[in-house]
Structure 1
Amino acid sequence: MKRSVIKILLVILLISFPVIIHQTYRWLTALPDQITIAAGHPEGRYYSMAVQLKGLLEEQLGTKVNIQQTKGSIENLELLRSGKADLGFYQPGAEYVLEGFQVEPEKARAPRQPETDRICFIANLYSQVVHVIVPVDSEIKKLADLKGYRIALGEQGSGDLAASLPLLRHAQISLDDITPTYLSYEEIEEQFNQNRLDAAIMTVGIEAPVLHELLDTGKYRILEIPFIDALTRKETYFYKYEIPAGMFRRVEPVVPVQDHRTVACGAHLLSRESVPEDLISGVTTIILHQDFLRQMQLNELFAQGHSFARDNQGFPVHAGADHVYNPELKPFLNSEFVEATEGMRSFIVSMLIASYLLFRWIQKRREKAKEHKLDRYIRQLMSIENKQMKLDGNNESDGLSLQSLLDEVTALRQDTLGQFSAHELNEDRATDVFLEMCHALSDKINAKLLGWKIDRLGEKINKP
């Protein structure tokens, strides 16, 4: 009865096991109900891209998306590290350039704690181009002329500021040579209109709304950047970039008047390593889709594909994004599921092994506690042996007794063999021992019986 119950329970367990595994897998790899994107300033391209990405993620993945307005790359990175954002836009090199740079020392950020959740790279989206903008009638004709003027360098912690500082170093202009201001895009437009600003260094995609709003008026022009080869050699995050003539204004005054040589850096989308792989795979797939590329005018990404998307990473690639870039390397089981269930699997295997060993121990204890099949036969054999010890074969009556004992041993051996199957005889060492005892006792009795027969034969010969 007990064995039948155990078998039924094992069958039920085996049937339900795949269902349990499937439900556990779905639970562990389920997409989060809500995520946050650290998106920069509303007038920048980061923000407009976040808005577009929000709509597609909510439509295709069913995940609610919050967009958080920030001051730029450094704040985005801090939000990611603190776990307050799941996706964030970042200008490569910004953290390195701005490390320790503060307008007001008393507002310096607290030292960064060691990372327990790594920042990971998803994709390079477009080129953020450096624009040095001045009023069209300004006396500033070249980069070196910025000395002595009020210049907007970008907000604290922004990619604009991270690009402005190396550009000023390249032009051998220190912050003491100018009047630096740290303004948002909205404040730049406002102070330009009020004639309170002489120039602005803006590092944005050439499709950024704020750039077109300024330059399409015909009131502003862009300065050339000299010695670009030297700049890109010293500042590894910069690369050469050319803005086509008429990009921002195609009627007089044309902006720029001719093809304009400048520098640019990437625009990266980052995440944390702990963000689910399926979510990041979904984000990467959306970003690389032709419809998204056309809507956001990501022409470089559209033309160059994965090679541009993976350019200048600076951070390890998130496993979810890597599944999209290298689909042939995607494992059969989601790595998050494997990691999440590793402890559970180890526990289950350990419990199964422990249960098996306990079962075997109990089984052996029971077997030892029970009388073995051979115990009765061994006792009978010992009784026969005790009887033969009392007979030495010297008496005339010993012959019949010894022959009787020998027959008893033979009958006992045959009876015993009839109680065991061939498998049991092969597996049970006790049967071998019993048979050896039988043979040994038979040899003893035969020896005494032979001695008795010799004595009887001698008596007959010696009879007169």
Structure 2
Amino acid sequence: MLCGALALSACTAPSARLGPGEQRIAGGVTAGIYYGYGEHFAAELRGELGLDIAVDETHGSVDNLQRVGAGEALLGFAQGDTAADAVAGSGDFDEPQAIRAVARVYDEYVHVVVPADSPIRRVSELAGHRVSLGAPNSGVQVIASRVLEASEVPADAIENPALGLAASIQALRAGEIAGFFWVGGLPTPGLADLAAESPIRLLPIEAGTVERVNAGHAGVYRVSDFPVGVYGVEAPSATMTVPNLLVTRASAPEELVHDITRVLFERRTELASRIAAAEYLDRRQAIFTGPIALHPGAARYYREAHR
């Protein structure tokens, strides 16, 4: 089964080696998981490979995929659904992006955050309110729009200020918005800080809603629960998850991507001591990146590790 999965990824030969200069990891907002993961992974790559690489703050998945596809970043983090749009040239992408996967790194949770004392109890009740659906060019906006559509909330029924995570948190604190969407690993640092200061509640996304979203979007979403205790949640709350991928450009050198993949797994313990989401990195699951093909360098690493 492993060989079959890897064979699908060997369709693109790498181009010439990268030129000189600092390489970039397209991260995300500084209050989210992407940026922290990228920051610590860059440090490991500098130490283990001597690679001159640093993380960039970005708007999130769409922005990251555009940067990687355009050759502005060597690596980037992206939600699996947005990555599927990127390789198909659909959604926010005018043409297919030349990207390949390094690994499925962890699953992200869809957060719909409101104050604990809010009268809003369901996603459908967000209609008529001012709610941030995420920053422009973010995967959050993609998912928020799909969840609202599946919940029969018309796009024009919500006033969307289109704020990133840090700005959404600030606006919720100030009472300027009724709630906001966020998609990220557990726990997202900015949300953990918010919950410690002001009690919050997470609106449920039920199985039926997830099924309706999946009907038109490659079936990449899953039903899950927020664990009791995270963000002060006292009871399980249903939500939707989406796989998160580490991606690279198709033309990245095979040997370099092989070594990057090796460092990702060999330094997992060190990464997990600094970023909780790294605990979920699992080599057995990492190859399941469809419909994004594995980069040949990553595929070679998994074959060697499987022997």
Question: By the TM > 0.5 criterion, same fold?
Answer: yes
| The one of 283, 295, 298 aligned to 1:318 | 295
Matches within 5 A, 1:419-458: none
TM superposition shift of 1:314: 2.2
**Structure 2 residue aligned with 1:297:** 276
Give, as a single letter, the amino acid of the residue that structure 1 aligns with 2:24: T
- Higher fraction of helix: 1
Structure 1 residues 307 and 329, CA gap change in structure 2 (3 angstroms): closer
Q: Is the 8 A contact 1:142 1:223 kept in 2?
A: yes
| Residue deviations 1:176-203 (CA, integer Å, cap 9, x gap) | 1111221011211111121110011111
Matches within 5 A, 1:129-140: 129-140=109-120
Distance in 2 (CA, whole Å) between partners of 1:166 and 1:248 is 24
Give, as a single letter, the amino acid of the residue that structure 1 aligns with 2:107: S
Structure 1 residues 309 and 213, CA gap change in structure 2 (3 angstroms): same
Counting matched residue pairs gives 284
Structure 1 residues 84 and 216, CA gap change in structure 2 (3 angstroms): same
TM superposition shift of 1:140: 0.7
Q: Is the 8 A contact 1:31 1:276 kept in 2?
A: no
Give, as a single letter, the amino acid of the residue that structure 1 aligns with 2:201: R
| The one of 142, 146, 159 aligned to 1:166 | 146
Distance in 1 (CA, whole Å) between partners of 2:126 and 2:18 is 54
| The one of 189, 211, 216 aligned to 1:230 | 211
In the superposition, the TM-score normalised over structure 2's length comes to 0.84
**Any gaps of 5 or more consecutive residues in structure 2?**
1-15
Q: Is the 8 A contact 1:286 1:292 kept in 2?
A: no
- Higher fraction of strand: 2
| 1:245 and 2:228 correspond | yes
Q: Is the 8 A contact 2:62 2:138 kept in 1?
A: yes
Distance in 1 (CA, whole Å) between partners of 2:48 and 2:197 is 39
| 1:263 and 2:240 correspond | yes
Structure 1 residues 222 and 127, CA gap change in structure 2 (3 angstroms): same
TM superposition shift of 1:299: 6.3
Matches within 5 A, 1:48-67: 48-67=36-55
Distance in 2 (CA, whole Å) between partners of 1:260 and 1:121 is 31
| 1:78 and 2:66 correspond | yes
Q: Is the 8 A contact 2:133 2:163 kept in 1?
A: yes
Matches within 5 A, 1:290-439: 290-292=268-270, 294-295=272-273, 296-298=275-277, 301-302=280-281, 305-327=282-304
| Residue deviations 1:224-260 (CA, integer Å, cap 9, x gap) | 12325524642412112221111222xxxxxx12122
| The one of 263, 274, 280 aligned to 2:257 | 280
Give, as a single letter, the amino acid of the residue that structure 2 aligns with 1:322: A
| 1:202 and 2:182 correspond | yes
Runs of 4+ in 1 over 4 A off after TM superposition: 28-33, 97-101
Structure 1 residues 139 and 298, CA gap change in structure 2 (3 angstroms): closer
Give, as a single letter, the amino acid of the residue that structure 1 aligns with 2:280: L
| The one of 124, 128, 140 aligned to 1:144 | 124
> What SS does the aligned partner of 2:50 have?
coil
| Residue deviations 1:102-149 (CA, integer Å, cap 9, x gap) | xxxxxxx8x44x66xx31110111111001111111111112111100
Q: Is the 8 A contact 2:29 2:57 kept in 1?
A: yes
| 1:190 and 2:173 correspond | no
Give, as a single letter, the amino acid of the residue that structure 2 aligns with 1:195: G
**Structure 1 residue aligned with 2:76:** 88
Q: Is the 8 A contact 2:214 2:220 kept in 1?
A: no
Distance in 1 (CA, whole Å) between partners of 2:306 and 2:277 is 27
**Structure 2 residue aligned with 1:344:** none
In the superposition, the TM-score normalised over structure 1's length comes to 0.57
Distance in 2 (CA, whole Å) between partners of 1:170 and 1:128 is 19
| Residue deviations 1:236-286 (CA, integer Å, cap 9, x gap) | 12112221111222xxxxxx1212221110111111122122221222112
Distance in 1 (CA, whole Å) between partners of 2:195 and 2:305 is 46
TM superposition shift of 1:43: 1.2
> What SS does the aligned partner of 1:173 have?
coil
Q: Is the 8 A contact 2:146 2:213 kept in 1?
A: no
Greater C-alpha radius of gyration: 1
| Residue deviations 1:294-347 (CA, integer Å, cap 9, x gap) | 323236635xx22321223322111111111101799xxxxxxxxxxxxxxxxx
> What SS does the aligned partner of 2:114 have?
strand
Structure 1 residues 329 and 288, CA gap change in structure 2 (3 angstroms): closer
Give, as a single letter, the amino acid of the residue that structure 2 aligns with 1:277: E
| The one of 103, 122, 133 aligned to 1:153 | 133
> What SS does the aligned partner of 2:181 have?
strand
> What SS does the aligned partner of 1:241 have?
strand
Give the share of equivalent positions with the same residue, in percent: 24
Distance in 1 (CA, whole Å) between partners of 2:291 and 2:25 is 20
| Residue deviations 1:397-433 (CA, integer Å, cap 9, x gap) | xxxxxxxxxxxxxxxxxxxxxxxxxxxxxxxxxxxxx
| The one of 92, 104, 108 aligned to 1:128 | 108
Structure 1 residues 230 and 316, CA gap change in structure 2 (3 angstroms): closer
Q: Larger RCO: Structure 1 or Structure 2 (Cα < 8 Å, ≥ 6 residues apart)?
A: 2
**Structure 1 residue aligned with 2:6:** none
**Structure 1 residue aligned with 2:5:** none
